Every structure is written in structure tokens, then in C-alpha cells.
Amino acid sequence: MKAIFISYNQAYNQEIVELLEGIGQRGYTVWTEVGGRGSIDGEPHLGSHAWPTQNHALFTAVDDSLAPKIMKALRETDSANEKLGLRAYVLPIEESL
């Protein structure tokens, strides 16, 4: 199994969930009102008066075969609107309950 952690502009929330469901991934956990700033460029998303936008974060555990499909779809989503901000990381799951 693989873990996928996705951090994204709040404007993507419904789109990310629909992307997962369209690929056949049902389970996930979402954190809302997540602040942050990209390491390369882009504006901070801090939920403040100066930087009002916020991020959401999502974690999902998937079969190994789904991870490349999800990452491909996320790359396409990000390239369509790079200024919004979207990052995703795939990690191995050694054990689960």
C-alpha cells in the first residue's frame, strides 16, 4: 500500500475529492484551514487579513496500482492552474490497522 499526502488551495477541495472518487478511491481524511507557504514560489496561504487564502490537506491510503493514476491526475489538475498551489507526496505504508 501507498500513502498519498496532498496539500492544496481550498478552491480545489471538491475537485480533489471528485478526482479520487473517479479513480475508485473511496477513503480519505481531510484537514481544513491548513496554513502554509510553498518552498519555491507562490503566495502564503495563512487565513489572515494579509494572506486570506487557506490550504486543505488530504491523506489517503491506496493500493500500489492506484498511486500512479492518482498522481497523474493531480499533475494534470496542478498544470491547469499552477498559481492555486497543489503538492502531493507518495510514501510507503509499512503497516496499517
Model confidence over 59-96: pLDDT tens digits?
Answer: 999 999 999 999 999 999 999 988 888 999 999 999 99
CATH 3.40.50.300 correct for 2-92: no
6, β-bridge pairs: 58, 88
Report domain extents, the chain.
2-92
pLDDT at 45 over 80: no
Neighbours of 14 (CB within 10 A): 8
